[in-house]
Structure 1
Amino acid sequence: MHYAAILAGGSGVRMGNPDKPKQFFFVGEKPILVHTVEKFCVSGSFEKVLVLCPATWVQQTRDLLQRFCPEFVSQIAVIQGGETRNGTILNSLKYLEQNGLLDDDAIVVTHDAVRPFVNLRIIEDNIAAALKTGACDTVVPATDTIVESLDGDAISAIPDRHFLYQGQTPQSFNGRKLKEVLESLSDEEKAVLTDACKAFVLRGLPVQLVRGDASNIKITYPQDLRVAETMLGE
């Protein structure tokens, strides 16, 4: 079985409104979160779409989804996220386990709530890669030169960008393997490993690359909203 975990724990600080998480800002006539959830519901690939958000926003999230996409609410479960990204992912896995859904073949596709332009090809490629390898990351080739500075003052290195990629989401995994890896992290590792794929790499486990798309943008700043409005209009 395949399950989606939409990570909706972001804040609105960089949007200029710390009291309103960015996933609840509108693009067109719907909140960003609704656009994202709909992509996974209409794909036809998932038994359940989990939406993980701060505890204080759980009921409001349920109300929004009931209002904007009532035809999908039976497929959606809104649950509380964790204090960190990996903690939030673990909450999704615990929900699946508690409901008898986390078997050996379960695939969990994790995705940022504020990437509403993910397409069906990316979702299907993630599922295929996770089934084959156990873990995958969606990426696009780096187009700009990447400069490394260890002290924030002077250049330490300029890696060859032909070997560099920019990470997007989804990131997808065999659910049981993902739970095993995340639960194996020490407190020190949990403090620095905020990315599930990085945790797999640390354990020496393979992570397959899936080709992303330049349109799969993450809406973080006010100018991103304007770009998203234009993309939606097109």
Structure 2
Amino acid sequence: MNISLIFAGGVGTRMGNKAKPKQFLELYGKPVIIYTLEHFENNDDVDAIVIVCKHEWIDYLKKLLERFNINKVVKVISGGETGQESIFNGIDYIHKNYNEDSIVLIHDGVRPLINQDIINKNIKSVIDNGSAITSCPPVETFVRVDKNNKVMDVHDRSMSRLAKAPQSFYIKDIYYAHKKAIDDKYFEAIDSCSLMRHYGFNVHLIDGISENIKITTPIDFYIFKAIVDAKEQTAIFG
């Protein structure tokens, strides 16, 4: 089976909105999290969706799922104190309730601009290579600096990629890595890709799209709106 694990546990501090977490901000009457979920809901190869959410927002989220006819969600789970702990809560549920050879697609609830091709590529890459890290080339130069902001190195963009999401694995592999991290008290992983690499797994990149942004700041939300508007205009006028 193919299960999507959606992380919706952020509080939106950098968004500057204290009333509502960023995944629940609305564009044209639809919350960001629903834009995200619809991609997985409408994919024929996705069998189920599990969501990790802050405990106090679970009832609100369930009402949204009903309102927008998101029917593949089988469980909404409370998040933990950290992102790593929250993802493990979802991984643990999937490991207990599905075959360990099932594929899990781990995705941010605030990345609503993925598409069906990216989801399909993730599933195929796990079958072919054991993993899938959605990525795209950087468009700007980035550098490595020391603690005094002195430039230590300029990276070759042709040999670099931006890691995005989904990040997908067999459930048995990602479960093992999380359990090992708990045993080792290793809590520094910034995402599933870094966790898997830390424990010796080879991870395979797939090509994504640059607009697959994570909505973290107000400018990200405005970019999201601009892209949605552009797609709407294209659909109307061709």
Q: TM-score range, shorter-chain basis? A: over 0.9
Distance in 2 between residues matched to 1:166 and 1:98, nearest whole Å:
32
Aligned pair partner of 1:88 in 74, 86, 89: 86
Cα shift at 1:115: 0.7
3-state DSSP class of the match of 1:45?
Answer: coil
Contact 2:135 2:207 in 1 (8 A): yes
Distance in 2 between residues matched to 1:3 and 1:214, nearest whole Å:
24
Cα shift at 1:5: 0.5
Distance in 1 between residues matched to 2:93 and 2:199, nearest whole Å:
24
- Structure 1 104/188 Cα, relative in aligned 2: closer, same or farther at 3 Å? closer
1:52 partner letter? V
2:71 partner letter? V
Contact 1:28 1:229 in 2 (8 A): no
Within a 5 Å distance, the mapping from 1:89-128 to structure 2 comes to: 89-99=87-97, 101=98, 103-128=99-124
Residue of structure 1 in register with 2:138 after alignment: 142
Residue of structure 2 in register with 1:220 after alignment: 216
Distance in 2 between residues matched to 1:152 and 1:198, nearest whole Å:
26
> Alignment length, in residue pairs?
230
Residue of structure 2 in register with 1:196 after alignment: 192
TM-score (norm 2): 0.91
Cα shift at 1:111: 0.5
- Post-superposition CA distance 1:71-129 (Å, at most 9, x none): x3354422212222222221112212333x1x232000010111111000100000111
Shifted more, 159-168 versus 111-120: the winner is: 159-168
Distance in 2 between residues matched to 1:131 and 1:151, nearest whole Å:
42
The percentage of aligned residue pairs carrying the same residue is 32
Cα shift at 1:187: 6.8
Cα shift at 1:141: 0.8
Residue of structure 1 in register with 2:236 after alignment: none
For structure 1, the 5+ residue unaligned runs are none
TM-score (norm 1): 0.92
Within a 5 Å distance, the mapping from 1:1-234 to structure 2 comes to: 1-67=1-67, 69-70=68-69, 72-73=70-71, 75-99=73-97, 101=98, 103-185=99-181, 190-234=186-230
Cα shift at 1:6: 0.7
- Structure 1 188/181 Cα, relative in aligned 2: closer, same or farther at 3 Å? closer
For structure 2, the 5+ residue unaligned runs are 231-238
1:215 partner letter? E
Cα shift at 1:167: 1.2
Moved over 4 A (4+): 186-189
